[in-house]
Structure 1
């Protein structure tokens, strides 16, 4: 009888002790947790209060034309994106973002040697081309099909209503 009571008492005690020990184990943070910590430590804020609403950008995107269809994909404060489709396939992504939330994004245009409609242009890797409007709005075209070239990206950057975007506050 005493042995039965001891087992009844000992099992929960050992289980509690095991849970306590494993809960105190200091496992390294996951990649997500580490990135979250770093961004929080820098005081980074996802979107600045002054950022333009994403829906405001839609009117400056190129319209569907000659075998190409512009399909709006996403909009949120400070950002809007559309897919450029040809024959039902995604060939490029078109995007406008407000750099007020990320001023470093505008700095990459400082050394630009190329322009479209008077706005500085930079290549971003092998598949993206961007320009900066009014020192604030980044307009970007990203190839999603290998046949959609840098020349195509620049042509589509020129199809945005850049002067209208420059007047946006």
Structure 2
């Protein structure tokens, strides 16, 4: 089942946005992936919120294909538009974002992270925190959060060390 669809979602309460991160293994069943993704998106759309779906879909979005069309049509059927088709691994666009947020309310870029085999797709949202817009003091950004760490494998430490040395 992990080969079909892995996902995590959070709702940003101060901006009424749901962000869902998705991973699809290239070895998983594509039809099963689409069906499960559709179930998740249908459920989220009932909440009447803005939605951002991002992740490594392992679908070549840079060139037309049956998989690309089926994926794009599924997103469109849920009111979501693909926000990135720029390459994220070599010349391929395997990672993207899709959203129902108006295109003038965000910018999307592709950046090279410190340690990863894919470039990162970054979205800058032009949204105001509802607490700020109502004149309230927003909560501290780290309040009510649990922090976890990502393990960097030993063979990646020299690369991480070198990359950190390149920062100002």
Normalising by structure 1, we get a TM-score of: 0.29
* Higher helix fraction (1 or 2): 1
Question: By percentage of residues, which structure has more strand?
Answer: 1
